[in-house]
A and B are shown apart, each in its own frame.
Chain A
Amino acid sequence: MIDQDSPARFRPAAGPLPPSLQFNAQGRLRHLLTIEGLSGALITEILDTAESFAGMNAQAVKKVPLLRGKTVMNLFFEASTRTRTTFELAAKRLSADVLNINISTSATVKGESLLDTLRNLQAMYVDMFVVRHADSGAAHFIARHVAPHVSVLNAGDGRHAHPTQALLDMFTIRRHKGDFTRLKVAIVGDILHSRVARSQIHALNLLNTGEVRVIGPKTLLPAYVEDLGVHVFHDIRAGLRDVDVVIMLRLQKERMESGLLPSEHEFFQLWGLTEERLALAAPDCMVMHPGPANRGVEIDSRVADGPQSVILEQVSHGIAVRMAVMSTIMGGSMNQGSGA
């Protein structure tokens, strides 16, 4: 495992992203690697499309023929159930053929071997790779090397980005709250290790959210996090005051040995979301969590299962939002150079 636990190394290994990489010559999205570089208008368009896909649940046949004859490969170098399953369902509801490949991360995947894997898979006439990888920048690397007609969708890379999770969270917030400009949104917990938090912050900013707060201990906040345009709180009570949305992050237990935290119990005492703390937020504050939740570590079961929780809705929305992203980028890659 690569040691990434020093805050100074939070910035993605991939370096600055060439803005052209995600877009084709006509300016259409052809890969989705990160929220950075998208526009608020494009995000809104994707959310609107997702809204139409969500309506498909009324159909007897819950399938549309958009990606008929296309092959989508879920390329998971890191374990995942929820994300992989919803990507698989999304692709199937678009009538694509789906392959799931789980590649063990026991050995560090070096650039060369990743490229080799990719070339072999590409030889099977795949049209889209959905990639999850423990290293930041892996999806970019793959996007740089795929054939022109192939799209790459980042399903989480290291600590860098998880753009579809951020989009489905925006979808969930928009369904409940509508306008972002008057909202106060708090992201709580282990921001340092969280690709979800980074993508959420970028998306919330692009949608002109009134105020974005991050709440957590200094050891779990990345250096220079203020540069992302957020207000930092080291006291959960102060941070939660009057917020409309609270997003709890999973405490990445696998990092606990590194001495960033004394114990799970103490983390819950200081940073866990309890009913009593939630009462400090706005009365209709919604509670979100990207999952999997550690009950009794970052969130109390009574809150996770309580009336303000939308955690399961987030999972359902993942399907419609991923359908919207897949069809948008597939349209972008099929249009390469056609001048349409």
Chain B
Amino acid sequence: MTEPVSTLLDRMADALRRHLSAQHITAPALVGIHTGGVWVAEQLHQRLDLNEPLGKLDISFYRDDFSRMGMHPQVRPSSLPFAVDDRHILLVDDVLFTGRTIRAAMNELFDYGRPASVMLAVLVERDGRELPIQAQVVGQHLKLRSDEQVKLRGPDPLRLDIVKLEPAS
């Protein structure tokens, strides 16, 4: 059902080059969202032959379900090794589903500065958006049932797994 991750990454890199040239963006700043998004961003970073180091965001402090779930047990430091002001930022994540993670990532990004633009690239997207958020570049669109979840395993090799969710007890 899912194609090999390397095929998806090649497709994303092609689509990204076209998108960036259409937008006249020569030096995008890549920002991966922990953990899966960082893995995908590292691969795209190589394929696009970018020199500038990759940014990494952990959105735990910006989640909208903190009051229900509490603190995520494994928070990693965010690091953006470049100034965000006036940059064209390419956010990268593994799976786009409700859009809430991307909302949180954008909030965090804007606490670092005012980017010129923000684009979104995802390895996989599935239906179920709860916010008006859309990716510019998508590796693959997956039709999944509501009791199914797609997970990126990695970092080496990267592999997509579709797992069945346990019924909520």
Contact = CB atoms under 8 A, between A and B. Distances in A.
Given A328-B71, A334-B67, A51 B111 contact: no
A67 B80 CA distance: 24
A58 interface: yes
A28 B58 CA distance: 22
B143 interface: no
Contacts of B77: 51-52, 54-55
Interface residues on A, range: 20 to 34
Contact of A52 (B78, B111, B112, B113): B78
A59 interface: yes
Contacts of A61: 110-112
Contacts of A327: 61, 66, 71
Interface string A27-68: 010000000000000000100110111111011110111100
Contact of B75 (A52, A59, A334, A338): A52
A251 to B, nearest CB: 38
B46 to A, nearest CB: 25
B165 to A, nearest CB: 15
A335 interface: yes
A332 interface: yes
A257 B84 CA distance: 59
Interface string B16-32: 00000000000000000
Nearest to B61: A64
Contacts of B75: 48-49, 52
Tell me what chain A mostly uses at the interface: helix, strand, loop, or mixed. helix
A332 B70 CA distance: 6
Interface in B62-81: 62, 66-71, 73-80
A331 interface: yes
A45 B78 CA distance: 16
Interface string A152-185: 0000000000000000000000000000000000
A45 B68 CA distance: 19
Interface string A315-340: 00000000000011001101100101
Contact of A340 (B61, B68, B76, B107): B68
A206 to B, nearest CB: 17
Contact of A60 (B67, B71, B107, B113): B113
Contacts of B61: 52-53, 56, 64-66, 327
A198 to B, nearest CB: 26
Contact of A58 (B58, B70, B73, B79): B79
A49 B78 contact: no
B101 interface: no
Interface of A: 28, 45, 48-49, 51-56, 58-61, 63-66, 327-328, 331-332, 334-335, 338, 340
Given A64-B61, A335-B68, 12 more contacts: A49-B75, A59-B111, A64-B62, A64-B111, A331-B66, A331-B70, A331-B71, A334-B68, A335-B70, A338-B68, A340-B68, A340-B69
Q: Which 8 A-B pairs have the closest CB atoms?
A: A331-B70, A55-B77, A64-B61, A61-B111, A331-B71, A52-B75, A52-B77, A59-B111
